[in-house]
A and B are shown apart, each in its own frame.
Chain A
Amino acid sequence: MLHTTLASGRRVLAIICALFLALAPTLAFAVTPEEMLRDPKLEARAEALSAQLRCMVCQNESIDESEAPLAHDIRVLVRQKILEGLSDSQIRAYLVARYGDFILLKPPFKPETILLWTAPFLLLLIGAGAIALSVRQRLTAPPANALSEEEKSKLADLVGEEK
């Protein structure tokens, strides 16, 4: 089997990547019935949590979507920890301690990611500021095609004549 680590790319990305990079993905399901928890509430929690965790040997896939063996192991691990009574954040902390930030699809807010998280809103502010500035300039400066005093009086004359 070629590229076993990449074999789990199963989504559009995989399709297009396959298009472009000639990877060799296989298609199968991710969560299998055997893995699922009996309690639907806990299972829903496990699925929501899984959707936020990256399958680290795949391309941008969550463990909930991937059928790579590693994703299976982590799915089982997450469910085991849920049964042990750990909270979502405790499970996340446990996984980050084991695998690093790379496992979180939502990057944590840290010095390295400040730029990532703030950039969208900073850019919006900067853009809005630039627009406000140019509007103010426009409003204070007289329009380029405004009439001069001479033209105004001429216009008044012409209009007056019409009457």
Chain B
Amino acid sequence: MIVETGHFALVLALALAFVNACVPLWGVVSRDDRLMQVAPSVALAGFFLVVISYAALIYAHLTSDFSLVNVVENSHSTKPLLYKITGVWGDHEGSMLLWVLILSLFGAAVAVSGRAMPRDIHAAVLAVQSWIGAAFLLFILLTSNPFARIANPPMDGMGLNPLLQDPGLAIHPPLLYLGYVGLSITFSFAAAALICGRIDAVWARLVRPWILIAWIFLTLGIAMGSYWAYYTLGWGGFWFWDPVENASLMPWLAATALLHSTTVMEKREALKVWTIFLAILAFSLSLIGTFIVRSGVLTSVHAFANDPRRGVFILAILVFFIGGALLLFALRANSLKPGGFFAPISREGALVLNNLVLSTCCATVFIGTLYPLALEALTGAKISVGPPFFNATFVPLFLPLCLLMPIAQTLAWKRGDLLGSLQRLFFAFACGLGVMLLLVALRGGPAISILLAGLAIYTILGAFSDLATRIFRRAALLKGSQVFANAFGLPRSAYGTALAHAGIGLTLLGLAGVGWGAQKILTMKPGDVAQVGPYEIVLESIGPQTGPDYTATAAHMAVRSGGAEIAELDPAVRYYPVRQMSRAEAAIKTVDFGQIYLGISKGEAAGTVDARLYWKPLVTLIWFGAIVMALGGLCSLSDRRLRIGVARRVRRIAVAPQAAE
């Protein structure tokens, strides 16, 4: 009964989505306030229906209701509770439902928070959001229904893929989807702006918090995915330039570019056409990512052709929304007047450069990901585009951007003083250079790592030099009160920018650390000692382990540093009988910012293990940097102008557009 309720709620949500896709839009066109007012309540109702539906699916998984195909295929009665819940989004049907849940969550959030927005924009945003919702609800109900029953329920299910039985599953997909799908709101805003013909600084200010929210989640989601891969794989790789990863990196790059271009639009009313285009592009890339991942086109072009129903459906959604938005864009973009004037060397100019580089990076990832598919489909020739390609193209594009980042932060709006900016960055630059020289003199190491370390130090210090100048301005003789007054007077978005940019620097520093790592791969028996970097690893014993739904072989290892034991670690290799699969369980000890990373697999001879031992200095900074970036985003989100400015100002501006700024 509960399952049927969930199913029914989903169908009802589809019906409401159709209502909300049409009625408010009709209101916008006919300027009928009453029709527009329908939108928020219907969006909220739709959201609650999807929540009910999702709760019903969770209930089915919790109670191991094996009359549902979805539960049979992905669950098992012995599965631990956490994975019964998180397993709901561990499969295709459930994760698509999560997709729609988050989509309608964002719709509901706009419905609630946007009551002070210009009414036509508000209605149009919710209508466009409902269009997307309707398309994906239809997709779920027609091709991937999680509530489908099975005629003869089996006694038990097939279990969840052991790779997914990890706390990472609880966090990674929801975070990533909040980012991925959060971009739908910026898309809806862009479409609404085009429909209503309001493409101005007010629009930029309205959409900015949503871009920030999506960007924060996307940043965290990607970082979380990377860390999950790192600790699950047994050898500590964290980024593979894999199509699935690229599918999340592309929207991130576009959203980052969008975040920067809306700043220009908000402050100076410039780059309007480009910003709207980017907003459409960012979500389009999310859709393309969904298509790449969902359609099976990844495994091979042929896998896609074998079961094309889902793939073709998503492709149709993709063509409809991207095509429709671009058509709208083409019809309206010409009517836009160019905005504020600025000199090439200025904050705006630097942000244009940022957008140029980020879009090129994004295009590079796009081409690298899809080229092999296109080539095979067109000529039949098979090529591989792997990490070496991206290292040779993406990296040289992206790194100079880090060099420019601090300079852009210190440039003034409208007309900047390049020489003055460079002077202000002298300290940061000197420190970066100093670190490089010190490393060459004292430590040695791969050139790329030394270069990265120097760049990282420069980026981190450079990120704060603008803040420092502004805080200590007019504070001759370091008068404390003036310094505090200056510090509190600065907008939080300035701190946000500094933090986010420093986060990039931290990540770079973590990447640089790879060059000073150490590894040992060897067969070990109890009593053996191996030296990895500055640490000694002793294999003390090998023994069996049992878990709720697996058996394991675990090695007990002691880590010694300078004779003293600093940790005892138990790397293991687990075997899951339900799926007849094994997975390595690495053991990790964090020392400062680095990690000692130990993994094992069964050795050839009895009583031995094949061990992979690593010392990875600074490695945690890679993800810590991403967290700092997200914190920067959060700081920016709490900025006064976004917190309270929107609601009060918009009303005034809506009456008298000249009053902006």
* Residues of chain A whose beta carbon lies under 8 Å from any beta carbon of chain B: 1, 6, 10-34, 36, 51-52, 54, 59-62, 65, 100-107, 112-113, 115-117, 119-121, 123-124, 127-128, 131, 135, 138, 143-144
With A33-B610, A106-B389, A131-B356 as contacts: A11 and B367 at CB distance below 8 Å: no
Most buried by A among B293, B381, B521, B584: B521
Q: Which of B45-53, B227-235, B435-443 contacts A (4 or more CB under 8 A)?
A: B227-235
Residues on A with C-beta less than 8 A from B228 are 12, 15
Q: Is B641 an interface residue (CB 8 A)?
A: no
Q: Are the CB atoms of B233 and A127 closer together than 8 Å?
A: no
Instruction: Tell me, rounded to whole Å, the shortest Cβ–Cβ distance linking B231 to chain A.
Output: 11
Q: Which of B200-208, B242-250, B535-543 contacts A (4 or more CB under 8 A)?
A: B242-250
Q: Is B164 an interface residue (CB 8 A)?
A: yes
Q: Are the CB atoms of A27 and B384 closer together than 8 Å?
A: no
Q: Are the CB atoms of B341 and A116 closer together than 8 Å?
A: no
CA distance A19 to B610 in the complex (A): 29
Q: Give the residue of B242, B357, B573, B604 whose beta carbon is less than 8 angstroms from that of A12.
A: B242
Q: Give the residue of B237, B356, B384, B581 whose beta carbon is less than 8 angstroms from that of A11.
A: B237
Q: Are the CB atoms of B235 and A29 closer together than 8 Å?
A: yes
Q: Is B63 an interface residue (CB 8 A)?
A: no
Residues on B with C-beta less than 8 A from A21 are 92, 296, 298-299
Name 4 extra pairs, CB < 8 A, besides A15-B164, A29-B599. Answer: A21-B299, A28-B573, A29-B235, A144-B338
Q: Are the CB atoms of A124 and B356 closer together than 8 Å?
A: yes
CA distance A13 to B239 in the complex (A): 10
Q: Are the CB atoms of A60 and B356 closer together than 8 Å?
A: no
Residues on B with C-beta less than 8 A from A104 are 383-384
Instruction: Tell me, rounded to whole Å, the shortest Cβ–Cβ distance linking B89 to chain A.
Output: 8
Residues on A with C-beta less than 8 A from B293 are 16-17, 20
Instruction: Tell me, rounded to whole Å, the shortest Cβ–Cβ distance linking A68 to chain B.
Output: 14
Q: Is B268 an interface residue (CB 8 A)?
A: no
CA distance A21 to B241 in the complex (A): 19
Q: Is B330 an interface residue (CB 8 A)?
A: no
CA distance A135 to B364 in the complex (A): 25
CA distance A28 to B603 in the complex (A): 11
Instruction: Tell me, rounded to whole Å, the shortest Cβ–Cβ distance linking B648 to chain A.
Output: 28
Q: Are the CB atoms of B363 and A123 closer together than 8 Å?
A: yes
Q: Are the CB atoms of A33 and B521 closer together than 8 Å?
A: yes
Q: Are the CB atoms of B173 and A19 closer together than 8 Å?
A: yes
Q: Is B544 an interface residue (CB 8 A)?
A: no
Cβ-closest chain B residue relative to A132: B344
Q: Are the CB atoms of B163 and A25 closer together than 8 Å?
A: yes
Q: Is B503 an interface residue (CB 8 A)?
A: no
Q: Are the CB atoms of B364 and A120 closer together than 8 Å?
A: yes
Q: Are the CB atoms of B601 and A107 closer together than 8 Å?
A: no
Residues on B with C-beta less than 8 A from A131 are 352, 356
Instruction: Tell me, rounded to whole Å, the shortest Cβ–Cβ distance linking B578 to chain A.
Output: 12
CA distance A30 to B92 in the complex (A): 29
Q: Are the CB atoms of B379 and A22 closer together than 8 Å?
A: no
Q: Are the CB atoms of A138 and B341 closer together than 8 Å?
A: yes
Task: Report the count of interface residues on B (CB-CB < 8 A).
Answer: 77
Q: Are the CB atoms of B240 and A13 closer together than 8 Å?
A: yes
Q: Are the CB atoms of B584 and A120 closer together than 8 Å?
A: no
Q: Is B2 an interface residue (CB 8 A)?
A: no
Residues on A with C-beta less than 8 A from B388 are 52, 105-106
Task: Name the 10 nearest CB pairs between A and B, nearest first.
Answer: A105-B386, A12-B229, A106-B388, A27-B583, A13-B242, A120-B364, A102-B382, A33-B523, A16-B244, A29-B601
Q: Give the residue of B243, B522, B579 whose beta carbon is less than 8 angstroms from that of A24.
A: B579
Residues on A with C-beta less than 8 A from B245 are 12-13, 16
CA distance A131 to B379 in the complex (A): 35
Which B residues, 360 to 378, have Cβ-Cβ distances below 8 Å to chain A? 360, 363-364, 367-368, 371, 375
Residues on A with C-beta less than 8 A from B315 are none
- Bits for B143-155, please: 1 = Cβ < 8 Å to A, else 0: 0000000000000
CA distance A3 to B356 in the complex (A): 43
Q: Are the CB atoms of A107 and B229 closer together than 8 Å?
A: no
CA distance A3 to B73 in the complex (A): 16
Could you name 14 residue pairs across A and B whose Cβ atoms are closer than 8 Å?
A: A16-B225, A16-B244, A16-B293, A18-B164, A24-B581, A27-B583, A28-B573, A29-B584, A102-B383, A103-B384, A107-B383, A113-B371, A115-B371, A120-B364
CA distance A13 to B248 in the complex (A): 12
Q: Is B115 an interface residue (CB 8 A)?
A: no
Cβ-closest chain A residue relative to B244: A16
Cβ-closest chain A residue relative to B359: A127
Q: Give the residue of B233, B242, B379 whose beta carbon is less than 8 angstroms from that of A27.
A: B233
Residues on A with C-beta less than 8 A from B604 are 32, 34
Cβ-closest chain A residue relative to B303: A21
Q: Is B580 an interface residue (CB 8 A)?
A: yes
Q: Give the residue of B164, B344, B579, B583 whose beta carbon is less than 8 angstroms from that of A135.
A: B344
Q: Are the CB atoms of A60 and B243 closer together than 8 Å?
A: yes
Instruction: Tell me, rounded to whole Å, the shortest Cβ–Cβ distance linking B303 to chain A.
Output: 8
CA distance A6 to B240 in the complex (A): 17
CA distance A68 to B582 in the complex (A): 14
Q: Is B90 an interface residue (CB 8 A)?
A: yes
Q: Give the residue of B294, B296, B363, B599 whose beta carbon is less than 8 angstroms from that of A120.
A: B363
Q: Are the CB atoms of B232 and A15 closer together than 8 Å?
A: yes
Residues on A with C-beta less than 8 A from B73 are 22
Residues on B with C-beta less than 8 A from A103 are 384
